[in-house]
Chain A
């Protein structure tokens, strides 16, 4: 690796800053009392508290999974703060009431609510640490009967919907981190699209972890009723921290008959410095359940976090349902990612597509782990999987762990995977055309990831490409 390249690799995290706002955090540690306290703070009904407590009890009996292909030190769950809300919060009438410090933060991130509201027509439910502080375009959505609000609000205003669907896709007992989330989740987003409604806007949430050492436990629930359509965007950046931050989110999607849900993520949380100090631990459970003729599509661009453990999955419950997974995962420096998907074919004539692009640079370790399971009754199931890995530099690793489990002979499955080095001849060609090395790599990587980027909504596609550029600048030797 040349020195020029090294200097590029070591580029600082652009979004590393801490907003100085008073936080209303509860004491560190996790006991039953913590769970009760969180629930009380949020004025939650009894059924939700009971659910949290059941999850907490279950969590106590579980052990942290060690099978992912990632290494990290012991997490002290008692040293975390499980709830933190910016202090100023009262029900807000308009953006003017939002703490100007907060608004400045969003501006630094390039997601000024005003801008977005006015120009892009995107309704933004911005989450600052754990409490929603500003929600736009509510009126427009209301006209169509779309519910898009913070999880806490949904619990109060639409308890019947929340109670019906919460935990229906990811039960609290699902896994260690899902159980933890179920016990202590602080806030998140709730979306409900009524029957036959095509959501007029792309819904978007920006997450931001702010207070130091605050584990953030988001819970997102998206319900698309029969024949509904929604495209949901999730994007995030996090300020620079020296101690690791734990993030264990749960996202549940329910696509009822004939519904379509498209969920896109750009994840660029702080990845730690070049020696692997700091950075976010991102342990996420994302899953959708697709009923008859419905479709759930996951698209993710993962460039941040010190450790990523994430498998957006689809349970293809109904006949003719479709599941898709498009992913770009980039690791650089000491980042580790173990990510992929699960496609569980239960209904007849179910289809799934998996396109995964992994890019490893620096000392990064990137694993694709995916499962395609066709149950005995899933006649006519189809799957196409393609997972490609690109290696940049000789200190990184790329790993592929596909699990293909077929118990129906009418299933058709194709799986392809490849791992190779970034093409030196391609770089040479670009350079010869007057592009510098940095630009050349960015171009080649963009081409490598094209199949995934084209699935992203326009604004995200641009942001994603820029993020990749920043993450990988000059990381070639």
Chain B
């Protein structure tokens, strides 16, 4: 594949002006690594069911124009009605202060854009950035090479941020044909707590490509709730990678909601480094038409007595193609591991397709690991029951589909977000004429 070689040129151009002081060595190493590995192909085991050719064959340039026509009304469509949340809005990958609303945080907690962080906490960036998400994966390398803006959050020891922080990534018409490489670095120190919501959406963005990377450090006894809502435009491409490390007694909950993009891939990885840490990875994806959505999770049990819980559900309509690959790896030292994974896919139409690969790799003996996967249609008994109660076929289908999806939303602890996503699903699966 030669397509990836064009990125060197783009890289030279992008780093020439603005990004000279931007951790140049990290970025140069990343572009070199990207050049060496290139885009993954379906011959790569991790990309077996997802071809990124549609991304690789195009050249997505970084967005050139600055400034935006988006208004606070546009933004309000994606804020779940929560004005009290801290809101950082990025438009086409650039921080947009005029659209953001940011209340004072606890004195010691830091929430910075990358340009602020370069001034205020360069040592933090230098020390942490790229350590959790190394450039060994092509898309991560690409992000590191091209990242132009992002958010750095540091919650110091025992500080609890009650109000959720919402990072909203929006695109507008300027993004058409361009790529965005936003980055998030989140550090929750010992005993810290926070809730982060990341939303990806568009207002007429067209065929753009979002390539997001988040690095999350969850310190001892800390708790991070991390929600990702991916509602990119129907022509868009989305690749998102979240990589977390967890120290002892920590809790990390990552929830992925994905309905957007013509081709999307969401990676969620967590490494359990300290004893008794707990990770919960949950997700829901609903695809239609010719969408392709791929979720990959990887939990690495390194320390003993950790637990991992995973529930992923997919709803596939039209000729959409869903992929799920959930890997649990248990190191020899990780005794008393307790891992549980469930993956269910609902096929609504004849053309829909799902490939799922729940994987267990276990090198310790005192463990309890299970996984379950199911694929099927709506339950015929349930449909019959509804029918016997006088409910029409269409409405039955709608209600059962909604119920299938809503079950996994129950795992969201952030009530306003749960309600908003339930609303979205309700709108989608229960059309007004039958409601």
Contacts and interface: CB of A to CB of B under 8 A. Distances in A.
Contacts of A414: 372-374
A337 to B, nearest CB: 14
Interface string A399-438: 1111111111111111111111100000000000000000
A420 B361 CA distance: 12
A406 B375 CA distance: 8
B358 interface: yes
Contacts of A392: 365
B365 A421 contact: yes
Contacts of A420: 367-369
A394 B336 CA distance: 11
Contacts of B398: none
A473 B249 CA distance: 39
Interface residues of A, number: 34
Interface in B336-363: 345, 347-363
B292 to A, nearest CB: 13
Contact of B370 (A396, A413, A419): A419
A401 B357 contact: yes
A408 B355 CA distance: 11
A409 B352 contact: yes
Interface string A368-409: 000000001000000000000101111111111111111111
Residue among B351, B357, B360 having the largest count of chain A Cβ atoms under 10 Å? B360
B431 interface: no
A376 B354 CA distance: 11
B373 A407 contact: no
A315 to B, nearest CB: 19
A399 B377 contact: no
A67 interface: yes
Interface in B34-55: 45, 49
B390 interface: no
Contact of A402 (B335, B353, B357, B369): B357
Interface string A145-189: 000000000000000000000000000000000000000000000
Given A403-B355, A406-B355, A419 B375 contact: no
Contacts of A403: 355, 357
Interface string B357-400: 11111111111111111111100000000000000000000000
A5 to B, nearest CB: 14
Q: Is the contact region of chain B dominated by helix, strand, or loop, or is it mixed? A: strand
Nearest to B372: A416
B358 A417 contact: yes
B332 interface: yes
Contacts of A393: 365
Contact of B347 (A389, A395, A411, A416): A411
Q: Is the contact region of chain A dominated by helix, strand, or loop, or is it mixed? A: strand
A402 B370 CA distance: 13
B356 to A, nearest CB: 5
Contacts of A402: 357-359, 373
A416 B370 contact: yes
Contacts of B49: 405
A415 B356 CA distance: 10
Nearest to A410: B377
B366 A394 contact: yes
A342 B320 CA distance: 24
Given A409-B352, A419-B362, A404 B373 contact: yes
Contact of B360 (A399, A405, A413): A399
Contact of A391 (B351, B357, B359, B367): B367
Contacts of B335: 394
Contact of A399 (B350, B355, B361): B361
A382 to B, nearest CB: 9
Given A406-B375, A409-B377, A415-B374, A394 B353 contact: no
B376 A391 contact: no
Given A391-B362, A400-B360, A420-B368, A412 B373 contact: no
B235 to A, nearest CB: 24
Contacts of A409: 316, 347-350, 352, 377
Contact of B358 (A398, A411, A415): A415
25 contacts: A376-B350, A389-B360, A391-B362, A394-B335, A394-B364, A397-B363, A399-B359, A399-B360, A400-B360, A400-B371, A402-B357, A402-B359, A404-B375, A406-B354, A407-B353, A408-B350, A412-B377, A413-B373, A414-B372, A415-B374, A417-B360, A417-B370, A418-B368, A418-B369, A419-B360
Interface of B: 45, 49, 316, 332, 335, 345, 347-377
Interface of A: 67, 376, 389, 391-421
Given A406-B345, A406-B347, A413-B376, 18 more contacts: A67-B45, A376-B350, A376-B351, A391-B362, A393-B365, A395-B332, A397-B362, A399-B359, A405-B49, A409-B348, A409-B350, A415-B371, A416-B372, A418-B369, A419-B369, A420-B368, A421-B365, A421-B367
